[in-house]
Amino acid sequence: MRTFFSIIAIAFFSILNLNAQAFDKQLKLLDDFIVEGIEKWKPPGLAVTVVKDDNIIFTKTYGKRTVGTDKKVDENTLFGCMSTTKAFVSAGLAMLVDEGKIQWDDKVIDHLPDFRLKDAYITRELTIRDLLTHRSGLGNSDYLWSMMSISGDSAYHKLKEIDKSYSLRSSFIYQNLMYHTAGKVIEAKSGKSWGQFLDERIFKPLQMNRTYPLLSSIETFENKADAHYDFDGKITKVPQMSVDKVGAAGSMWSTISDIGQWIKFLLNEGRVENDTLIQPATFKELYKPQQLIPSSQFYPTQQVTKPNWMTYGLGWFQHDYKDKMVQFHTGSLPGMVAIAGMIPEDNVGVYVMGNLDHVELRHAIMYAAFDLFTEGKLSRNWSEELYPIYHPEEAEKEEPQRTAGTKPSFLENDLLGKYHHDRFGWVELSKKGNQLEFNMNNTIYGTLSHWHYDTYKAVFRRQYMGEGMINFRLGSNGKLSHAELFGEDFIKL
C-alpha cells in the first residue's frame, strides 16, 4: 500500500514539475521575444507585466529611462499611461453608479448644467454612456487643448463652437474632450477632483502607491522615463507633453509594479482581496460592446489579427481573437506609449510601457503574451509581422511642387502681425533679425521662409511636427487679409 501511494505521489509531483518547467519555458520565450523585439523596434526603455489566474507572473524592465545615459528602467520607474487612463475614469464612474449618484444613461446636462454643444439636440440627449464611447457626433477637437494656451475648462466651454461630423450615435470618432467631460461628472457628483477620487477609490485600495493623476504631480521626480523620437534613425529625447488640462482623457502616470495590480483587479472583475470595489453587474457593463467601430477607425494590427468585429466598450477597444473577446486600449503621446490588454475569458492580462514615439512593439508583446499564456506557444512572430505594417517602405519623399523664381504679391513686412480664427485662436508673425517666425497661441512655434508665389514654408520648432505650408491671400482692397494654416483661414487683424 505504501508503495502504491509513493507511486501516486511521485507521479503527482512529476506532473507538477513538468508543468513548472513548461511555465518557465513560456516565461523565457516571452522574455526572449521582448529582447529580440527591442533590437528591432529600438525603444530606449520598456516595462512589461503579465497577469494570469490571479497572479502577476511576469514583471520585467528593459533599457534606459533616457537615451545616452546610464539611468536604467526599473519596476518603480514612472511612465505615462496616456489614454489607458480612460478605463480608470470609466471605473470611477461605475463606482458612482453603484452609489446611485448617476446612471449610465443619464443625460450629461442633468449633472453638468453648463454643458453645451453646438447642436441643441445632442446637447439635450447626450448621455454619460455616450461620453465614454466616442459617439457624440463631434469631430476630433484635440486642437482645443493641444494647439491653444487655454485651460481645460475653457476647452470644455468651447465645445459649443465645434460643428458635428455626424448624427448622435451613428458612428465613431475618437474624442478626448468627452472624457475630460466625464471627469467633470466625477467632480460634480463626488465633490472631489477626478484625480483625487481615483486616488482614494482605486489607487490606494490597490496599493498603487506610485500612481499619480497628473504630470504636474511628478515633474520633479527623478525616476521617470523621458519621451523620445526617432529622427531619421537617431533616437532623441524630446520635451514631455502635458495633457493635465484635459487630464481624465489621459494624464495618469504609473509604474509597471503598480499597474500590474490594476490588471489583476480588472481580471478579478472589480474585486481586490476580500473587498468588492465595483458590483459585478456594474462591472460587466464596462466590458459590454457599446459602439461598432469601422475598420478605418481601428488599428492596423487588424491586418494580422483579421477580426470579424471591432467595437468600443466603456473605456475599452474590443475585437475577437481566436473566438474570444479581447479588451484593450493604447495610450500615446509624443515620445511615449502604453497598452493594456486582456482576454478575460482566459484570465490573462498584459500591460506594456515604453518611451519611444509609437513603438508598436507594444501590440506585438500583448498578442505574444496572449498566445503564450493561453496556448503555451507563440502562434506567429508578432514582431516580424507587425513591423512592416507600421514601417512601410517609404517612397522617395518629394517636396511639394515649387515654381522657382517667383515673388510674393506683398512686402515681407506686410506679413507681420496677428491673424485670428474664432475656434483656433491666433497666429502671430514677427521677425528676429532677417528670420520670419510664427507663434500660435503661445503653444506652437516655428520659422517661415518663402516657398513660391504667396506660399511660405513653415518649419515647426517641435521637430516631430515636421513642416507645413501657409498660404497668404489678399483681400478685395489689395492688402494682405488671410493666412491659411492647418486647412483653416485666419483673418489678419
Does 307 have pLDDT greater than 70?
A: yes
Residue 110 lies inside a defined structural domain of this protein: yes
Which of 262, 258, 254, 252 lies closest to 342 in space, CA to CA? 262
For residues 157 and 283, membership in a common domain is answered with yes
Check residue 13 and give its pLDDT.
Answer: 46
- Which three three-digit cell numbers place residue 306? 483579421
Name the pLDDT band for 3 (thresholds 50, 70, 90).
low
pLDDT in tens, 95-122: 999 999 999 999 999 999 999 999 999 9
Q: Which of 138-152, 399-413, 439-453 has the lowest mean pLDDT?
A: 138-152
Within a domain: 260: yes
Query: Is residue 420, in this structure, part of any structural domain at all?
Result: yes
Q: How far apart are CA 332 and CA 81, in angstroms?
A: 8
Do 357 and 433 lie in one domain? The reply is no
The phi and psi torsions of 196 (rounded to 5 degrees) equal -65, -40
E strands, 199-323, in order: 227-231, 234-238, 253-254, 271-272, 275-276, 291-292, 310-312, 317-321
CATH label of the domain that carries residue 427? 2.40.128.50
What is the pLDDT at residue 15? 42
Same domain, 215 and 66: yes
Residue 252 near residue 194 (C-beta atoms within 8 A): no
Q: How far apart are CA 350 and CA 105, in angstroms?
A: 31
How many CA atoms, within 13 angstroms, populate the side-chain half-sphere of residue 242? 14
Look at residues 330, 357, 390 and tell me which one is the last residue of a structural domain: 390
Residues 39-54 pLDDT 10s: 999 999 999 999 999 9
Taking all residues of the chain, what is their mean pLDDT, rounded to a whole number?
92
- Is 58 found in the same domain as 192? yes
Is the pLDDT at 309 greater than 90, yes or no? yes
- Return the SS3 of 134: coil
User: 314 with 420, same domain?
Assistant: no
Same domain? 341 vs 425:
no
Q: How far apart are CA 335 and CA 82, in angstroms?
A: 11
Residue 51 pLDDT: 98
Identify whether residues 381 and 418 lie together within a single domain: no
Q: Which three cell numbers stand for residue 83?
A: 489614454
192: pLDDT strictly greater than 90: yes
Please state the domain count of the chain: 2
Do residue 384 and residue 434 come from a single domain? Answer: no
Least confident window among 10-14, 260-264, 406-410: 10-14
Q: Are residues 423 and 370 in the same domain?
A: no
256-292: per-residue pLDDT in tens?
999 999 999 999 999 999 899 999 999 999 999 999 9
Domain boundary among 390, 425, 457: 390
> Is-contact 110 101, C-beta < 8 A?
no
Question: Look-up: residue for cell 517602405?
Answer: 393
Domain check: are 247 and 314 in the same one? yes
Query: What are the tens digits of pLDDT across the range 419-463?
Result: 998 878 889 999 998 899 999 988 889 999 999 999 999 988 887
* Cβ–Cβ < 8 Å for 426, 415: no
Reported confidence tier of residue 417, pLDDT bands at 50, 70, 90: very high
Kindly state whether residue 479 falls inside one of the protein's structural domains.
Answer: yes
pLDDT digits (tens, 9 = 90+) for 318-337: 999 999 999 999 999 999 99
Same structural domain, 360 and 447: no
| DSSP string for residues in 442-469 | TTEEEEEEEEETTEEEEEESSGGG-EEE
Q: Does one domain contain both 311 and 202?
A: yes
Residue 4 lies in a domain: no
Report the alpha-carbon distance of residue 245 to residue 194 in Å, rounded. Answer: 12
C-alpha cell at 448: 517661415
Q: Find all residues with CB under 8 Å of 403, minimum gap 6, and list them.
A: 452, 453
Asked if residue 11 is part of any domain, the answer here is: no
Q: Find the domain containing 62 and state its range.
A: 18-390
Task: Supply the pLDDT for residue 456.
Answer: 93
Q: Is 8 within the bounds of a domain?
A: no
Give the pLDDT score at 441: 87
pLDDT value at 211 more than 50: yes
Please say whether the beta carbons of 72 and 97 come within 8 A. Answer: no
Residue 460: per-residue pLDDT = 87
Residue 10: inside a domain, yes or no? no
Name the residue among 455, 459, 457 with its Cα closest to residue 444.
459
What is the spatial distance between Cα 467 and Cα 455, in angstroms, rounded to a whole number?
Answer: 13
- Per-residue pLDDT at 9 exceeds 80: no
Question: Residue 372, Cβ neighbours under 10 Å: how many?
Answer: 23
Q: What is the CATH number of the domain that holds 117?
A: 3.40.710.10
In whole angstroms, what is the distance from residue 477 CA to residue 155 CA?
Answer: 35
